[in-house]
Amino acid sequence: MIRLIVSLIIVILFEKNYGQQTVRQCTCNEIEPCQKLAVESVLPCSDQCQKFVSSMGGNYQQIRSCFQQKQPIIDKAMQCSQDAFPEACSRTQPKMIPKRYTKGIEIAAMNEINKQLQRMGIAEQVTNLLSQGRRFFKCFQSCMTKKLGKCADGCHLDLPSDNVVVQKIKSCALRSGVQTAAMKDLCFCIERSGIRQLAGICPRIQIFETK
């Protein structure tokens, strides 16, 4: 559904180190098939979990269409996010880099999103909505994990700090058209599909190019 998620799925490699343990940097030849597989898996995984959207009152096919209408923006943002880390994988001899867990960037992203939601005054409403959609997200995450399997197993991407990664992806989203008008339009489209909990949220969306 929302392919921008794939940008985070591909780069989420937690920065907390295991002492001095190191791991081999992934080669670009290893990562490219993983990127392709991740992109190809998003819609099938969303479709597989659609019953959890229906349980919230939404028409899944209509919601799917809402995101497809924004596909050019999503694709542009995703490509920009991938291009923002040219040294993440190695095109020559890979080096050894610090070994990392798999949650840090996810946590940094959620902190940034929560900060923006609080600024707009809709954090509580969105939190309640996401709580209702928890089963969908868990189903989707499980499906993506199974689809990717052991893709690029045994290596990591060489990324900057968690916050730098999140800010670069945020910058890409803004430059690619993730702005107030587009996000309000998407939000109202999803509301019309049956997710009435968005009624008080959509009019208050304000996207600013601030950290």
Number of domains in the chain: 1
| Domain annotation covers residue 104 | yes
Element at 105 (helix H, strand E): helix 104-120
| Domain annotation covers residue 210 | no
| Domain annotation covers residue 125 | yes
In this structure, the number of other CB atoms found within 10 A of the CB of residue 28 comes to 14
> Which of 150, 26, 45 minimizes the C-alpha distance to 92?
26
Task: Please write the tens of the pLDDT for every residue from 104-145.
Answer: 888 888 899 999 999 999 999 998 888 888 899 999 989 998
| Domain annotation covers residue 155 | yes
| Domain annotation covers residue 56 | yes
Residue 95 near residue 158 (C-beta atoms within 8 A)? yes
Tell me how far the alpha carbon of residue 16 is from its chain's centroid: 20
| Domain annotation covers residue 209 | no
Q: Containing domain of residue 181, as a range?
A: 4-197
- Residue 34 to residues 49, 152, 154, 158, Cα–Cα distance (Å): 22, 7, 13, 16
- pLDDT category at 6 given cuts 50, 70, 90 is low
| Domain annotation covers residue 71 | yes
> Which of 42, 84, 49 minimizes the C-alpha distance to 67?
42
- pLDDT category at 99 given cuts 50, 70, 90 is confident
pTM of the predicted model as reported, rounded to 2 decimal places? 0.83
